[in-house]
Amino acid sequence: MSAMQRLPEPVTTTPATKGRVAGLRLPSPEPFTILASSPAATLEGVATVVCVPTFRRPDMLEATLRSLAAQQGGHDFAIIVVENEGSAREGAARAAALLEAGLFKGHVIVEPRQGNCKAYNAAWSCALTRFPALEQVLGIDDDEIAEPGWLDAFLKAAAAAPAELFGGAVTPVFEDARRGWLSAHPVFRSHYSRSGPAPLLYSSANYLIRRQVLERLGHPFLDESFDFTGGGDADFFARAKAAGFRFWWVEEAAQRETMPARRSEFGWIAARALRNGAISAAIERRARPGLAGRLRTLARSLALLAAAPWRGLALGWRTGSVLIGLYHAQVAAGRLMSEFGVWGEQYRKPEKN
């Protein structure tokens, strides 16, 4: 791989200096800065860009980047690392060193305004404005490892399937191996288990999105009001579906996600289930504004609460876990709590997430 060039200081660049995207209005000046970059000539023909947001996990970020460097299939791709910690920037420093060493090509950027939606918006804006041949963006978090065939599986599906948005499996790996049985819990389990058409995607943990989706939905791609609650990805996918885009599941595009011990605690799992309920209700209210829509969402929440005991018994029996069986009741409770503005912000303090 060609030698890399690193900018001596963060430099804010604008779409005007790097090429505008026809029909798409992006913020100017850009809210992110570029810390390290590959030579432009090595990026001009790149059609595939993998986006990696990071926050205070430099060691895990390096493991993620090394898993991307080990991808099979011989595909030409670039990586955008988005540092979302605006002061110490340890992840950006680590990624820049790896870029300079030739592990990957692309850009290392900093979006100093904390928020996962802001980080993704910065990554996708950077991809659209710095890669003129861009066809698709993919995503992986900095606590995930891509299996060697991850990229190849996604790109083969994107070339053949009648869809514009693709999701893949994420397998939880618990630091406390004794808690492995929690992988059957809906907050950890992937929504689908077979490759093929899917009605919707819900998570940005493992995705491929075609360029035309971003251009059609416009900036901000993810609604930044979801920065600390989560749900910006689910809202984005719901808007994509409303715009007529299609979804496809690629089971072979697999990742492994590290689950620290705190995520196997009852309090964290309950908070995530409540959050899932709040997000689903919020997205429904957005899709159906007005009193009639609000009443319809409330009626659905009440129906889910009424059905929760029976659904919970079935889930608990199937998994052999009372804790897992509580999920449906927690989701229904989260939906109802959101009607009164009660909605946890699990991402406000990422070190506790």
Query: Is the separation of the CB atoms in 109 and 82 below 8 Å?
Result: yes
Among 213, 246, 264, residue at a domain's last position = 264
What pLDDT score does 156 carry? Answer: 98
The reply to whether 274 and 251 lie within a common domain is no
User: Which pLDDT value is given to residue 16?
Assistant: 35
Cα 326 to Cα 273: distance, rounded to the nearest angstrom: 9
Domain count across the chain: 2
pLDDT given at position 56: 95
Pair (294, 220) in one structural domain: no
The whole domain housing 334 covers: 266-352
Query: What local confidence, expressed as pLDDT, does residue 347 receive?
Result: 75
d(CA 277, CA 287): 16
Does residue 303 share a domain with residue 219? Answer: no
pLDDT (0 to 100) of residue 350: 67
- Residue 331 CB contacts under 8 Å (≥ 6 apart), including other chains: 273, 274, 276, 277, 280, 304, 308
Q: What is the pLDDT of residue 352?
A: 67
User: Which secondary structure element, helix H or strand E, spans residue 144, and what is its range?
Assistant: strand 144-146
291 and 226, same structural domain?
no
pLDDT in tens, the chain (353 residues): 333 333 334 433 333 334 467 678 899 899 999 999 999 999 999 999 999 999 999 999 999 999 999 999 999 999 999 999 989 999 999 999 999 999 999 999 999 999 999 999 999 999 999 999 999 999 999 999 999 999 999 999 999 999 999 999 999 999 999 999 999 999 999 999 999 999 999 999 999 999 999 999 999 999 999 999 999 999 999 999 999 999 999 999 999 999 999 999 999 999 999 999 999 999 999 999 999 999 999 999 999 999 999 999 999 999 999 999 999 999 999 999 999 988 878 777 766 66
User: Do 218 and 101 reside in the same domain of the chain?
Assistant: yes
What pLDDT, on a 0 to 100 scale, did the predictor assign at position 17?
39
Return the pLDDT at 71: 98
Looking at 264, 284, 318, the residue that finishes a domain is: 264
Cβ atoms of 173 and 257 within 8 Å: the answer is: yes
Residues 225 and 340 in one domain: no
Position 349 scores a pLDDT of: 72
Which of 239, 264, 289 is the last residue before a domain boundary?
Answer: 264
Q: Cα dihedral angle (297, 299, 304, 305), rounded to 10 degrees?
A: 120
CA pair distance 4, 320, nearest whole angstrom: 53
Work out the widest C-alpha separation in the chain, in whole angstroms: 62
Shared domain check, 326 and 180: no
Q: Which pLDDT score, from 0 to 100, does residue 20 have?
A: 61
Whether cis (ω within 30° of 0) applies to the bond prior to 31 is no
**187 and 60 fall within a common domain:** yes
Q: Are 165 and 298 in the same domain? A: no
According to DSSP, the residues that pair with 53 across neighbouring strands are: 82
Same domain? 288 vs 187 = no
Q: Which residue has the tokens 């990696």?
A: 52
Pair 142, 85 in one domain: yes
Instruction: Check residue 150 and give its pLDDT.
Output: 98
- Tell me: do 212 and 70 sit in the same domain: yes
Is the distance from CB of 38 to CB of 99 less than 8 angstroms?
yes
Question: pLDDT digit string (tens) for 17-61?
Answer: 344 676 788 998 999 999 999 999 999 999 999 999 999 999 999
- What does the mean pLDDT of the chain come to? 92
Q: What is the CATH number of the domain that holds 49?
A: 3.90.550.10
